[in-house]
Amino acid sequence: ETGVTQTPRHLVMGMTNKKSLKCEQHLGHNAMYWYKQSAKKPLELMFVYSLEERVENNSVPSRFSPECPNSSHLFLHLHTLQPEDSALYLCASSQDAGTGPDLGPLHFGNGTRLTVT
Amino acid sequence: GDSVTQMEGPVTLSEEAFLTINCTYTATGYPSLFWYVQYPGEGLQLLLKATKADDKGSNKGFEATYRKETTSFHLEKGSVQVSDSAVYFCALNDYGGSQGNLIFGKGTKLSVKP
């Protein structure tokens, strides 16, 4: 049983749709993350939230909009996506998003498999 | 910038075979190094880590030693099982950059046949 829960597990959407991915962590962590996992590419960090404040945005297109209403919940709002946005979207959490030498570990959810048609 | 390079997969082994998955890194500072594992249909889980040179991380029969002189963190297991079939990711903690961003390799898929 993972401490990080993502819904839905699978999502198919058209390019004109608006949908949201949800992530919830039950670990009491202060930092939450969105990663994109595409075939044959390294995991890409999209967003980092620390204590509900966004602290990292790795030049992600504006068609992806994160929301962190509290330290346990994280959303990724999607609109007017492109077929190349099809991927596995992983949520993760950690105790802190600090800059010390001992970051980890990250605790990942099982991901949402997104297909954009 | 910092980066991680893993051996290309997939790797196919018979049960009880010896496993090595190579990982080398490039970093300006002294990062912490990690191996994560992703079982089918699941997210990534931390397998082991090492935070300084010559440290050895170990878990579930897997080991990796932080080699600063060769900038490597190769994953090894003496006798693999079918249940070890998964994708393995090497990563480093780029804490010298922004907010402790983990940098991942592309992953190596391991298939273990009975």
Given a cut of 90, is residue A36 above it in pLDDT? yes
Which chain A residues are closer than 8 Å to B103 by Cβ?
42
Cis preceding linkage at B40, omega within 30: no
* Predicted pLDDT of residue A90: 95
Please enumerate residues of B whose Cβ is less than 8 A from a Cβ of A.
4, 30-32, 34, 36, 41-46, 49, 51, 89, 93, 95-96, 98-107
Nearest to A23 by CA among A96, A86, A72: A72
Q: HSE of A95 in the Cβ direction (CA atoms, 13 Å)?
A: 6
Q: In this predicted model, what pLDDT tens digit does every residue of B21-42 receive, in sequence order?
A: 999 999 887 888 999 999 998 8
Confidence of residue B98 (pLDDT cuts 50, 70, 90): very low
Q: In this predicted model, what pLDDT tens digit does every residue of B58-86 receive, in sequence order?
A: 999 999 999 999 999 999 999 999 999 99
* Predicted pLDDT of residue B99: 47
* Predicted pLDDT of residue B96: 53
**Three-class HEC string of chain A:** CCCEEEECCEEEECCCCEEEEEEEECCCCCEEEEEEECCCCCCEEEEEEECCEEEEECCCCCCEEEEEEECCEEEEEEECCCHHHCEEEEEEEECCCCCCCCCCCCEECCCEEEEEC
What would the two tokens of residue B9 be? 């997969």
User: Average pLDDT in the A54-71 region?
Assistant: 89
| Residues whose CB is less than 8 angstroms from the CB of residue A21 and which lie 6 or more positions away in sequence, other chains included | A6, A7, A8, A11, A75, A76, A78, A89, A91, A112, A114
Say if the Cβ atoms of B98 and A108 lie within 8 Å: no
Which chain A residues are closer than 8 Å to B43 by Cβ?
2, 4, 6, 90, 92, 108-111
Given a cut of 90, is residue A105 above it in pLDDT? no
Which chain B residues are closer than 8 Å to A92 by Cβ?
43-44
User: Average pLDDT in the B6-13 region?
Assistant: 92
Say if the Cβ atoms of B46 and A104 lie within 8 Å: yes
Nearest to B25 by CA among B10, B35, B11: B35
Of B100, B105, B107, the CB nearest to A97: B100
